[in-house]
């Protein structure tokens, strides 16, 4: 689109990455994009993540192993101080690496970048959850060696990863040596929370927080003399986080093997030496366990590792792998989305969906990080992305994971209450970015000022409860968040009387779009805050009427009064939602339309992305968007706006939205679909789908864009599927199948019932795949009831309204009142 | 006023600081406020400054010696990076200390805090420019010793300071030892550019830039074996600034003296040992010279020091002191302001006026720093304060110094042009704070965003040229600044059509008031930018018509075109100056009145100053001011606004102005006087007058508030004297003598003629004190011509309009349209 070349045809190099609906496959080694492929071939379970590094650990962009929430802290030093600025820097730590297995044949090391590789295949299998690599290597002495590795992070055993490493000599006879390690690389740099840009973080040598000190202090480094069991234990110097990692090895060898153990600080290794004949295979299995905690001694964590290893070892690797397949089979059964007869797209879709689970499946008491456990980008922080981009997929397909993510927010509530006090407010203000609950956004204008995170969390709670009917969570925990966030809005906003009408205003906040900051009455914020206030009042009324005891508990926990609940309802009713009658759109904030317009269409590519070429003040001066803002509100609060309003807003904002944020494309896809820009909707979908697979924003090396991969599901289901949840138990469909798609099917878990939805060009079909049903649905204006064993088909005369092309560039155009829209292309330095 | 207790009566402790119209005198040692008295008794000449430390150098807050512009640089590390943020940190360096002279009697050191002092007096004489100290010390062994010190920084010899140290034994006989030193203390911390607050910089251990390295690298450390001449040479590690300091000693002794020389890195000392009998005096004279430069080898600077010492030594100390007296006599003759029969106020006024000269007299190729050369506060940076608060006094009394300050800006023009490119603009953007020309403001919202500095500089140029008639400066240099700043405004702003009218808007800038930042159409900025655009166009027209050659040069230098000059005039004509008809005032920015009001009157003292108790976002959300903003524009562009407008604006803003900035009181005093709030005008004047003398903002220890001391003159002359320059050669007076003042006189240098102005309760009298005259003046509506030898008296029936009390708190009041002004007191953490 505007920022990037439009995607036409298949953007993936199929000579290297062949099509497979159930796997991402690479058939050629390349040292040029190691960082990208490491991210694409990462495996993880939401707790533990191993980047797709080669076991040999020599050709790597970042040799990364990450554990969700395992972080170091450091004081944020502001170039200029002010009251209430974020103080506690937090960065995910690259933990000791268990992936390392080095191979020597004829004493020659295998190094991929220099090796003569006769065969090469790397494969991430979406059904087995195993990353395999098959090589045939011609050694410098001319012998052919086959190396097969399999690597897995278990979805069923949260703390376990397994690695298999098999070497088969194909010719002659050779001494073979394998060195398997636990290695801590002692990084002294932590990823600095830098600015998201399409081409990576701002090019600056200071982007990494140079701590100039050890982060992981060694506490234990041992290797069992008889067992060979390895144990490393660490403590983070400042955060108090502790870690234990332990590994067991099993060797199958056709000949005698000498074993050597080695142990020092930051490194344990076991070295196997043997001689292989042609056709013989040496097979090593490495079972690894990580345990982490806060302030628990590393030795105790190592005991937990050992118990895990004992238990899993007893059951055996085959069982672990079978469990994994079974787990994934269940996942695909409840969560798969199929694009009929488009294997290229199908592959990309499934890779994206799997990423969400790799980021979230076992996140449990942690949040879901912006890069999952695939990299240290964004410091391993949790943002609003989780609630708005990731939770929809989890809520409708794996509700337990959505509940875990929301319970994590509940656990942060005490921090959020304190933070509200620091910014002079009642209620709770969730940190814009955090790992441990402390606000970590060093640039408040595009961080702390994004108060909308409160409403985003409230929205996700509501969505979850409406989809699942889990009132247990709502009444015992979720409602506390609704109450405290509503309190914040009621306290933050104020009433003002203009032209005889009183309305409720929220000032000096930043919406999702970070190309304008600290504005008054940001339309997104006010719209979502209105929802938050309403929903909190409703929840309180509901609890009071349905469970007086729960209500009494709530009052005890929160000090709730009747007056404030009424105040919320009032504030919601009076909420100012900016609308400009002359232009006929919702301005992004109360004075958005006062600004000059940035003529994006005529801005040279060399000035993009804007934030790498212009001082923030310059960007803030213009009507230009980093990402959809009003348009996102139109989607999330769909029933509050008419199709005409949506069309007008979309037409206005789309041409001035740079998409410099990866969060933008999916929203634009959904709303383009709704208002009728079919081609554009598909194009934005592709921009989201291929963010990582084609490294569209040039920073996939830092990790997978988890929000974007979550957004792919939304674009499919909400965009093309036209699915909207409207209030409690009203699920509506208004499909927009792309022109050259034959069909699309997906499934939704609604109140414990799995609904299969199949959309084709002329109909939409619903079927209860599992669970009690029945479900009442709305297709366009028609209500249908779907009961188990009674699929329903609704004919579709069309795929909704249709507008060709894309909205015109409004820069310089003349308005209805005869005035031209003042526009310019600011100079770039 | 609101932030502070009103000043009633004499706020100075006269038992310690007795009244003297021509000196600041202290009669009692106190260790409680060392930092404050060090600043108050600082001496300097605008190039070199010595804080009022005791020679013994043991009881000190900061042992400070500062040279204007002598700074170290360091990379500014932003907690979060963005394009175009300031990169080059700059901090004035505390240079090697020549003040140190230690005294031992009976081997007992003199330490003031523990000494038994029978007599103590410290005196800064405003006519001799000498700081003296007279002590009688009873040593631990019971002998009385008289110590007289005299310290001076020469106004006539820029690089020279002298110190006299005389010891008289009053009883018995005793061994006496004097150790005179040049000492470099190797500070590893530099003052961090922190936030101005009434109670100092934000309490934070990180406020000093911990460089963790030496700043001054020793290059020379020598002492002449026969001459005893000391030489220290240094180079700043990063900035490349170099320094030489050299000292000569002369001793008068009644008995034999043994002399010992000592020299090491960072320390040279000369130790004199002798025995004194009762009544005998040992008298040491130390002549010191500092030379500094950029990249000149320290040895070469030391040669310059020696030449200076040779020359000044030859002429003798008496000559140096006589020159100083003569220089000061001339200064007072042209610059004194007298408040008749109010010796307490007179003393304070003269102390303030002297401070301006101590900051500016020999600043020459440097700017005038916010703390002059009295401390390292604000990192020794130059701000807009110079142009708006300090230059009026200099322009009208010491125009050469104003010209130097403006020529310094001219020298920064290449930097300012580059900076404009960095923020995507044409023309030039002067750095908000700097020493070396690079922008050093680490917090852009209250720094770089204050583009008004461009107009402030243009204003000061215009004021200087109008007052002096110095078209030579204007045509050859000043006009370049006018052209480049006008270009910036024309490029920064844009035309917008609202309700059928096109107007010119300036967005995303911050005005002088830092309690709202990054706003659209800040009234101050737009008003001054309009002036800037007009004045640039006028100057260009003037040069073109009067000196075609100079015009051709200008075109060659700046690439000026006719079109752009017309564009400036258009932009000035179309400039949007926000005015709200309903409220009848100028909003501070286009949406200022949309904000809720901070009920300042009901805000507890414990929450003041606001910026120490509230996150910036909280403060930005409200109608509340750190300092006068609209009200300052009303003063600077007096002829553009009616008295009614001024009154309405003043009444509106005064109650919501915290005065948390020391820049505020003088402006409020002037405008209170003009609109008729006589009591309030006097009160604000006192708040300005006593900023340092009573440490009103609790941070005088960091140095003298040079802008505030300059503002004292403005409050007297523009406020009570009612003086306004209206365009070129129109000087008007509309006096407002405070109720209990008998009279006030001051003098103005207008086109080389010195006009004496004497204001009493019933008349104003003008007299040409020096120069050719005649001058045409306007008193209220009457035009008078004053010629040499022909004084003119104009009777005054009154002192202008009169309103008692002060404007009411508008918080919660009801407007004409029946709406209440929404107000609140935000919670403080």
The DSSP annotation for A645-666 comes to HHHHHHHHHGGGB---STTHHH
Summarize pLDDT for B496-535 with one digit per residue, the tens. 988 788 999 999 999 999 999 999 999 999 999 999 999 9
Residue of B nearest to A494 (CA): B596
Cβ contact, residue pair A617, B449, below 8 Å:
yes
Q: Nearest CA to CA, how far is A212 from chain B (Å)?
A: 13
Q: Which residues of B touch A75 (CB under 8 A)?
A: 206
The answer to whether residue B201 scores a pLDDT higher than 80 is: no
Task: Report yes or no for ipTM above 0.85.
Answer: yes
Question: How many CB contacts within 8 angstroms connect chain A with chain B?
Answer: 193
For B224-297, strand residue ranges (E) read 230-236, 241-252, 258-264, 267-277, 281-294
Pick the closest to residue A680 from A513, A803, A809, A811 (CA basis).
A803
Q: Which residues of B touch A620 (CB under 8 A)?
A: 508, 518
Pick the closest to residue A237 from A211, A216, A210, A208 (CA basis).
A216
Whether omega for the bond prior to residue B609 falls within 30 degrees of 0, making it cis, is yes
Residue of B nearest to A613 (CA): B83
The confidence band for B188, taking pLDDT boundaries of 50, 70 and 90, is low
Summarize pLDDT for B116-145 with one digit per residue, the tens. 999 999 999 999 999 999 999 999 999 999
Cβ contact, residue pair A617, B444, below 8 Å:
yes
Q: Which residues of B touch A519 (CB under 8 A)?
A: none
Contact indicator for B432, B525 with CB cutoff of 8 Å: no
Length of chain A: 829
Nearest to B424 among A75, A614, A822 (CB): A614
Residue A674 has φ and ψ, to the nearest 5°, of -60, -45
Residue A305: its H or E element: helix A298-315
End-to-end CA distance of chain B: 24
Nearest to A495 among B81, B612, B822 (CB): B822
Interface test with B, best of A76, A81, A497 (most B CBs within 10 A): A81
Q: Nearest CA to CA, how far is B493 from chain A (Å)?
A: 9
Cβ contact, residue pair B616, A507, below 8 Å:
no
Interface test with A, best of B615, B660, B822, B825 (most A CBs within 10 A): B615
Q: Which residues of B touch A431 (CB under 8 A)?
A: none
pLDDT at B500: 82
pLDDT at B644: 97
pLDDT at B776: 96
Q: Give the sign of the dihedral formed by CA A548, CA A550, CA A551, CA A556.
A: positive
Q: Which residues of B touch A85 (CB under 8 A)?
A: 615
Of B514, B674, B767, B769, the active-site residue reads: B514
pLDDT at A187: 65
Q: Which residues pair with A757 in a beta bridge?
A: A746, A766
Contact indicator for B285, B270 with CB cutoff of 8 Å: no
Q: Catalytic residue at B514?
A: yes
The confidence band for B822, taking pLDDT boundaries of 50, 70 and 90, is confident
CB within 8 Å of chain B, chain A residues 299-338 = none
The confidence band for B197, taking pLDDT boundaries of 50, 70 and 90, is very low
Residue A396 CA to residue A723 CA, distance in Å, equals: 11
Q: Coil, strand or helix: which one is A348?
A: helix
Summarize pLDDT for B703-735 with one digit per residue, the tens. 999 999 999 999 999 999 999 998 777 899 999
**Count of alpha carbons within 13 angstroms of residue B117, beta-carbon side:** 18
Q: Looking at the complex, does the CB of residue B812 fall below 8 Å from at least one CB of chain A?
A: no
Cβ contact, residue pair A80, B443, below 8 Å:
yes
Question: What is the residue whose two structure tokens read 């996140």?
Answer: A363
Q: Looking at the complex, does the CB of residue A819 fall below 8 Å from at least one CB of chain B?
A: yes
Q: Which residues of B touch A829 (CB under 8 A)?
A: 84, 421-422, 424
Structure tokens at B504: 């010119």
Residue B186 has φ and ψ, to the nearest 5°, of 55, 45
Cβ contact, residue pair A620, B80, below 8 Å:
no
Residue A280 CA to residue B787 CA, distance in Å, equals: 117
Residue B417: its H or E element: helix B399-422
Residue of B nearest to A596 (CA): B494
The answer to whether residue B223 scores a pLDDT higher than 50 is: yes
Cβ contact, residue pair A79, B80, below 8 Å:
no
Residue of A nearest to B88 (CA): A79
Residue of B nearest to A506 (CA): B621
End-to-end CA distance of chain A: 24
- The whole-chain average pLDDT of chain B stands at 94
Mean pLDDT, to the nearest integer, of B56-60? 88
The confidence band for B190, taking pLDDT boundaries of 50, 70 and 90, is low
Question: What pTM does this model have?
Answer: 0.94
The confidence band for B198, taking pLDDT boundaries of 50, 70 and 90, is very low
Q: Coil, strand or helix: which one is A705?
A: coil
Pick the closest to residue B540 from B484, B620, B606 (CA basis).
B484
* Stronger pLDDT, B14 or B729, i.e. the higher one: B14
pLDDT at A194: 43
Interface test with A, best of B201, B206, B490, B617 (most A CBs within 10 A): B617
Structure tokens at A660: 């410099």
Cβ contact, residue pair A621, B508, below 8 Å:
yes
The confidence band for B81, taking pLDDT boundaries of 50, 70 and 90, is confident
Residues of chain A with pLDDT under 50: 1-3, 192-208
pLDDT at A622: 96
Pick the closest to residue A317 from A130, A183, A49 (CA basis).
A130
pLDDT at B5: 77
Active-site amino acid positions of A:
514
Q: Which residues of A touch B89 (CB under 8 A)?
A: 79
pLDDT at A202: 40
Q: Which residues of B touch A616 (CB under 8 A)?
A: 82-84, 444
Q: Which residues of A touch B85 (CB under 8 A)?
A: 615
Summarize pLDDT for B294-353 with one digit per residue, the tens. 999 999 999 999 999 999 999 999 999 999 999 999 999 999 999 999 999 999 999 999
Residue B719 per-residue DSSP state: I
Instruction: Give buried/exposed letters for B757-794 (b at 16+ CB in 10 A, else e).
Output: bbbbeeebbbbbbeeebebebbbeeeeeebeeeeebeb
CB within 8 Å of chain A, chain B residues 397-456 = 421-426, 441-445, 447-449
Cβ contact, residue pair A421, B829, below 8 Å:
yes
Q: Give the Å distances, CA to CA, from B226 to A375, A714, B230, B249, B270.
A: 70, 88, 11, 12, 12
Whether omega for the bond prior to residue A774 falls within 30 degrees of 0, making it cis, is yes
pLDDT at B1: 36
Q: Nearest CA to CA, how far is A437 from chain B (Å)?
A: 19
Residue A454 CA to residue A448 CA, distance in Å, equals: 11
């Amino acid at each position: 689109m505007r920022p990037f070349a439009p995607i036409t045809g298949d953007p993936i190099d199929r000579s290297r990455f062949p099509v497979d609906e159930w796997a991402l496959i690479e058939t050629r080694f390349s040292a040029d994009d190691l960082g990208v492929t490491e991210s694409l071939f990462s495996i993880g379970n939401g707790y533990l993540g191993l980047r797709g590094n080669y076991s040999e650990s020599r050709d790597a962009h970042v040799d990364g192993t990450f554990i969700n929430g395992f972080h170091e802290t450091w004081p944020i030093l502001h170039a200029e101080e002010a009251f209430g600025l974020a103080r506690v820097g937090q960065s995910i730590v690259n933990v000791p690496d268990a992936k390392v297995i080095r191979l020597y044949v004829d004493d020659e090391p295998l190094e991929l970048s220099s090796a003569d590789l006769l065969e090469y295949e790397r494969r991430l299998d979406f059904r087995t959850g195993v990353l395999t690599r098959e090589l045939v290597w011609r050694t410098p002495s001319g012998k052919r060696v086959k190396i097969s590795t399999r690597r897995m992070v278990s979805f069923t055993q949260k703390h376990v990863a397994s690695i298999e490493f098999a070497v088969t000599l194909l010719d002659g006879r050779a001494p073979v040596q394998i060195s398997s390690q636990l290695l801590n690389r002692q990084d002294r740099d932590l990823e600095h929370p830098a600015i998201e840009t399409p081409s990576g973080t701002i090019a600056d040598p200071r982007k990494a927080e140079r701590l100039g000190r050890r982060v992981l202090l060694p506490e234990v480094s041992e290797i069992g003399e008889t067992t060979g069991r390895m144990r490393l234990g660490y403590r983070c110097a400042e955060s108090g986080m502790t870690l234990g990692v332990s590994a067991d090895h099993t060797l199958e060898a056709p000949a005698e093997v000498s074993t050597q153990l080695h142990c020092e600080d930051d490194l344990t290794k076991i070295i196997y030496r043997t001689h292989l004949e042609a056709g013989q295979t040496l097979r090593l299995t490495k079972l690894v366990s990580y345990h982490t905690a806060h302030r628990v001694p590393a030795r105790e964590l190592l005991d937990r590792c050992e118990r895990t290893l004992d238990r899993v070892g007893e059951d055996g690797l085959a069982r672990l792998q079978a469990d994994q397949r079974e787990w994934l089979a269940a996942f695909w059964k409840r969560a798969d989305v199929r694009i009929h007869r488009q294997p290229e797209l199908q592959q990309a879709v499934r890779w994206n969906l799997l990423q969400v689970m790799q980021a979230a499946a076992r996140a449990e008491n942690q949040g879901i990080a912006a890069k999952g456990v695939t990299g240290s980008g964004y410091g391993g922080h949790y943002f609003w992305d989780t609630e708005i981009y990731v939770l929809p997929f989890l809520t409708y397909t794996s509700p337990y994971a959505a509940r875990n993510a929301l319970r994590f927010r509940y656990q942060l509530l005490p921090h959020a209450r304190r933070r509200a006090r620091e910014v002079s407010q009642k209620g709770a203000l969730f940190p814009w970015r955090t790992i441990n609950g402390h606000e970590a956004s060093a640039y408040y204008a595009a961080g702390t000022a994004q108060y909308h995170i409160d409403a985003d969390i409230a929205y996700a709670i509501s969505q979850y409860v409406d989809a699942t009917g889990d009132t247990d969570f709502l009444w015992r925990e979720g409602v506390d968040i609704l109450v405290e966030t509503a309190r914040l809005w009621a306290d933050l906003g104020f009433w003002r009387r203009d032209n005889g009408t009183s309305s409720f205003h929220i000032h000096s906040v930043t919406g999702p779009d970070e190309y304008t900051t600290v504005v008054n009455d940001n339309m997104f914020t006010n719209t979502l805050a209105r929802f938050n206030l309403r929903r909190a009042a409703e929840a309180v009324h509901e609890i009071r009427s349905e469970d007086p005891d729960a209500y009494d508990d709530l009052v005890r926990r929160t000090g709730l009064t009747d007056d404030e609940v009424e105040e919320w309802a009032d504030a919601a009713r009076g909420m100012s939602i900016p609308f400009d009658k002359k232009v006929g759109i919702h301005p992004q904030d109360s004075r958005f339309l006062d600004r000059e317009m940035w003529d994006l269409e005529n801005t040279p590519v060399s000035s993009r992305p804007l934030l790498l070429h212009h001082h923030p003040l310059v960007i803030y001066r213009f009507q230009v968007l980093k990402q959809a803002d009003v348009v996102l509100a139109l989607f999330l609060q769909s029933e509050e706006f008419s199709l005409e309003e949506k069309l007008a807003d979309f037409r206005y904002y789309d041409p001035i939205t740079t998409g410099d944020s990866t969060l933008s494309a999916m929203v634009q896809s959904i709303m383009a679909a709704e208002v009728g820009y079919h081609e554009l909707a598909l194009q934005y979908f592709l921009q989201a789908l291929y963010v990582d697979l084609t490294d569209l924003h040039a920073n996939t090396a830092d990790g997978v864009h988890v929000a974007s991969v979550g957004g792919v599901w939304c674009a499919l289901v909400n965009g093309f599927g036209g699915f909207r949840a409207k209030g409690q138990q009203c699920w509506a469909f208004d499909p927009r199948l792309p022109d050259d798609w034959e069909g699309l099917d997906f499934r939704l878990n609604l109140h414990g019932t799995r609904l299969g939805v199949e959309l084709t060009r002329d109909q939409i079909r619903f079927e209860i795949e599992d669970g009690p049903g029945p479900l009442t649905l709305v297709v366009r204006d028609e209500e249908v009831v779907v009961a188990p064993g009674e699929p329903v088909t609704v004919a579709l005369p069309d795929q909704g309204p249709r507008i060709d092309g894309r909205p015109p560039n409004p820069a310089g155009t003349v308005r209805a009142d005869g005035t031209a829209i003042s526009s310019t292309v600011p100079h770039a330095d």
